[in-house]
Amino acid sequence: MLDAKKLYQSLNLIGSLSLALTIPWIVFKVCRAICLKRNYNALLTKVVVITGASSGLGEALAHEFYKQGCQVVLCARRRQELERVRSDLLQTHPTVPTLPPIINPLDLSDINALPGHVEKILSITGKIDILINNGGVSHRGTVVSTQPDVDIKIMLVNYFGAVALTKAVLPSMIKNKSGHVVFVSSIQGLVALPERSAYCASKHALQAFSDSLRAEVASYNVSVTVVSPGYVKTELSINALTSSGSPHGKMDANTESGYLPEYVATEIGRAVVQKKKEIVICTLLPKIAIFLRKYLPSVYFSVMVKRAKKAQLH
């Protein structure tokens, strides 16, 4: 009888503690949802410029921001694919209260032409509220075998293109004392992998540039967000440049099993409305690699050596 009474008291205590913890958690979740909804409402009528918008993550980002009421400006090299994305946006979200998407074909490697593209966009929209630097190209090849012009091309698109476009947009944001610049980097900008040297270097440079920029434009009410996703199921590996500069032409297994672009786009949209400075979107293994690189670098270096040797055997 005594044991039953103690058991009852213990269960009652556990129940009370659970209730005491659950109620604040529910209140927190509800308040967070309300605040998030209010922040999403703030996206209405915002002008969002997205590079690499002709496919993959860029296309998913176009859908994510368009359905929130933004006027999206679709930028990439392939006009025909941009037309397709524009048509899909209008058909998929016919009731969204916003202006039709704008198409602006551009090549990020032609950095001298980028200011002209920004002027053209501003002449149509009058402002650029959010710039999402998403366009880029990946790399497959060893350091020794990769031709220097491949390193230059990847750095030109991934880093200098994003930097030049950002610099062209910033004056209007500073003038308006409002704006948000998003850089889609990569986990590989935080932890470098063998046979990805050019890509990792370009994304690592983007990380450093973003940190400097964030500090400089804070007083003008311009936000900077760096997004570091792991593998995303896109054609990035297929279009990656090999050591000779030719397309890789293969869907890597890790890329094939990566996050859906729509999921990553949703996370980026949430990061923008919450004005987060940086987000990392990845599974447990890359998080462990980031931890090791920061706190146990010798272990990380050893693991990368083994990975490189394994790759050389294949």
Helices 162-176 and 114-125: angle between axes, nearest 10 degrees: 40
CA distance 196 to 30: 43
Q: Please provide the average confidence, as pLDDT, over all residues in the chain.
A: 90
300's CB contacts (< 8 A; 6+ apart) are 191, 289, 292, 293
C-alpha distances (whole Å) from 94 to each of 41, 63, 86, 97 are 18, 12, 12, 9
pLDDT over 70 (residue 19): no
pLDDT, position 1: 46
**Burial level of 25, CB count in 10 A (0-12/13-18/19+)?**
exposed
pLDDT over 90 (residue 97): no
Let me know if 199 is a catalytic residue.
yes
Question: Out of 66, 159, 199, 231, which one is annotated catalytic?
Answer: 199
187-226 confidence digits (pLDDT tens): 999 999 999 999 999 999 999 999 999 999 999 999 999 9
Lowest-confidence range among 71-75, 234-238, 256-260, 309-313?
Answer: 309-313
- Classify residue 164 as left (phi > 0), alpha (psi -120 to 50) or beta: alpha
pLDDT, position 25: 52
pLDDT, position 2: 46
The phi and psi torsions of 181 (rounded to 5 degrees) equal -115, 125
Of residues 114 and 248, more confidence is placed in 114
129-155 confidence digits (pLDDT tens): 999 999 999 999 999 999 999 999 999
pTM of the model: 0.87
Report the candidate in 134, 144, 218 with the shortest Cα–Cα distance to residue 184.
134
pLDDT over 70 (residue 299): yes
pLDDT over 70 (residue 85): yes
pLDDT, position 3: 64
C-alpha distances (whole Å) from 192 to each of 51, 160, 163, 224, 290 are 24, 19, 21, 23, 10
Report the candidate in 200, 195, 197 with the shortest Cα–Cα distance to residue 311.
195
Identify whether the C-beta of residue 278 lies closer than 8 Å to the C-beta of residue 227.
yes
C-alpha distances (whole Å) from 179 to each of 122, 129, 215, 308 are 14, 5, 14, 42
Lowest-confidence range among 16-30, 208-222, 227-241, 300-314?
Answer: 16-30
Q: Which CATH number fits domain 38-282: 3.90.1150.10, 2.170.190.11, 3.40.50.720, 1.10.540.10?
A: 3.40.50.720
Domain ranges of the chain: 38-282, 285-314
pLDDT, position 94: 86
CA distance 72 to 56: 16
pLDDT, position 310: 85
Altogether, the residues listed in the chain come to a count of 314
CA distance 269 to 22: 28
Report the candidate in 50, 41, 31 with the shortest Cα–Cα distance to residue 102.
50
Q: What percent of the chain has pLDDT over 90?
A: 74
154-191 confidence digits (pLDDT tens): 999 999 999 999 999 999 999 999 999 999 999 999 99
25-71 confidence digits (pLDDT tens): 554 455 454 555 556 788 999 999 999 999 999 999 999 999 999 99
pLDDT, position 36: 53
Of residues 149 and 19, more confidence is placed in 149
Of residues 17 and 71, more confidence is placed in 71
